[in-house]
């Protein structure tokens, strides 16, 4: 019995000593957390989506407190209003950022991009992309298996069952970028939402030469440069047989749209253009 009591006493002493050591070490190396971090967290939408470039809202709040300026920090879910609140807490100025939205740069529906084979595997774009180029002649196009839809926590993107292409729900999209990261074909891009949600972009990522791209998809960009020549603002570049519209330079004049021979340039949410009626020629009066 005495041996047992001695063992218990020894273990108790060791435990108490360890607790004392941990307490002293904890007090010595304790780091006070800036109370503003918690304030900022409360101002954030708590989506923890990673769209800001940080693992979660807590990391983003910590970065905001430590940063000298908020120039390179932005919460896409909360938007400008949230960043203004963060700036107010920190006594800093929030940079005004244009609202962005996810854009699907592929118009190769089942009608425009005929299937040449059938994929019979796991319904996952990433896995399919690792195995082969796709069910059509376009190895750059959308698989339509829904990795983007699964990744979105805001229910803002869905696969259309008829076209087998993703469609973005504008009112729900927060530009968090989750769908962009999920797409193995780099088809989805974050672009400026534009005034009145009006946008112009090349809905194609096919980098094959014109004839090959057109054979695979009726609405593929063929890199003909007609859009580039029509743009008065130098907003369009041609690289690797593919046109790209820079939304920082684009002035939404729409001059590039009608000159595209394959209709691969999309214009969203614009009113229909007014057609100019043909001039009426005055008939010459013949005097008898």
∠68-181-98 over CA atoms, to 5°?
50
221 carries a ligand binding annotation: no
What pLDDT tens digit does each residue of the chain (288 aa) get? 666 667 666 776 677 767 767 666 656 554 556 888 899 999 999 888 888 888 889 999 999 999 889 988 999 888 899 999 999 999 988 888 889 999 999 999 989 998 888 888 888 999 999 988 888 999 999 999 999 999 999 999 999 999 999 999 999 999 999 999 999 999 999 999 999 999 999 999 999 999 999 999 999 999 999 999 999 999 999 999 999 999 999 999 999 999 999 999 999 999 987 766 665 655 544 444
CA 123, distance to chain mean position in Å, is 22
Crossing angle of helices 57-66 and 35-43, in 10° steps, is 130
DSSP result, 7-70: HHHHHHHHHHHHHHHHHHHHHHS--PPPHHHHHHHHHS------TTSSSSHHHHHHHHHH-S-S
The class (CATH top level) of 36-90 is: mainly alpha
Distance of alpha carbon 126 from alpha carbon 181, whole angstroms: 11
176 carries a ligand binding annotation: yes
Sort residue 82 into left (φ over 0), alpha (ψ -120 to 50) or beta.
alpha
227 carries a ligand binding annotation: no
Residues of the chain with CATH 1.10.15: 36-90
Instruction: Report the residue count for the chain.
Output: 288
231 carries a ligand binding annotation: no
- Would you state the pLDDT for residue 118? 83
Report helix, strand or coil for 245. strand
Task: Give the tokens for residue 251.
Answer: 């002035």
Report helix, strand or coil for 265. strand
Distance of alpha carbon 220 from alpha carbon 260, whole angstroms: 10
Crossing angle of helices 57-66 and 79-90, in 10° steps, is 50
Distance of alpha carbon 225 from alpha carbon 161, whole angstroms: 33
Distance of alpha carbon 256 from alpha carbon 21, whole angstroms: 73
Residues of the chain with CATH 3.30.70.20: 100-268
Distance of alpha carbon 230 from alpha carbon 254, whole angstroms: 9
pTM: 0.77
- Would you state the pLDDT for residue 288? 42
110 carries a ligand binding annotation: no
57 carries a ligand binding annotation: yes
Distance of alpha carbon 159 from alpha carbon 213, whole angstroms: 23
152 carries a ligand binding annotation: yes
Show Cβ contacts of residue 278 under 8 Å, excluding neighbours closer than 6 positions: none
250 carries a ligand binding annotation: no
75 carries a ligand binding annotation: yes
Closest by CA to 142, choosing from 169, 175, 178, 179, is 179
148 carries a ligand binding annotation: yes
CATH number 3.30.70.20 is the correct assignment for the domain at 100-268: yes
106 carries a ligand binding annotation: no
- Does residue 255 contact residue 267 with C-beta atoms inside 8 Å? no
183 carries a ligand binding annotation: yes
**Number of H helices and number of E strands within the chain?**
9, 8
Report helix, strand or coil for 158. strand
């Amino acid at each position: 019995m005495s041996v047992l009591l001695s063992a218990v006493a020894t273990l108790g002493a060791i435990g108490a000593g360890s607790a004392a050591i941990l307490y002293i070490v904890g007090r010595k190396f304790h780091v006070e957390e800036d109370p503003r971090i918690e304030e900022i967290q409360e101002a954030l939408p708590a989506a923890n989506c990673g769209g800001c470039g940080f693992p979660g809202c807590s990391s983003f709040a910590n970065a905001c407190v430590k940063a000298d300026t908020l120039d390179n920090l932005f919460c896409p879910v909360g938007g400008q209003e949230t960043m203004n609140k963060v700036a107010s807490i920190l006594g800093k100025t929030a940079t005004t950022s244009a609202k962005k939205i996810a854009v699907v740069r592929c118009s190769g529906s089942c009608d425009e991009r005929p299937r040449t084979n059938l994929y019979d595997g796991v319904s996952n774009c990433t896995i399919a992309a690792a195995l082969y180029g796709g069910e059509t002649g376009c190895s750059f196009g959308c698989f339509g298996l829904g990795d983007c839809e699964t990744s979105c926590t805001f229910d803002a993107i869905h696969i259309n069952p008829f076209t087998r292409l993703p469609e973005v729900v504008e009112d729900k999209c927060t530009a968090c970028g989750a769908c962009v990261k999920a797409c193995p074909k780099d088809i989805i891009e974050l672009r400026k939402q534009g005034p009145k949600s009006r946008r112009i972009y090349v809905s194609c990522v096919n980098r094959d030469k014109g004839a090959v791209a057109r054979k695979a998809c009726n609405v593929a960009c063929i890199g003909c440069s007609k859009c580039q020549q029509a743009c008065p603002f130098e907003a369009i570049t041609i690289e690797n047989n593919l046109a790209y519209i820079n939304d920082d330079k684009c002035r939404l004049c729409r001059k590039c749209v009608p000159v595209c021979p394959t209709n691969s340039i999309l214009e969203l949410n614009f009113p229909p253009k007014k057609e100019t009626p043909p001039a009426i020629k005055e008939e010459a009066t013949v005097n008898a």
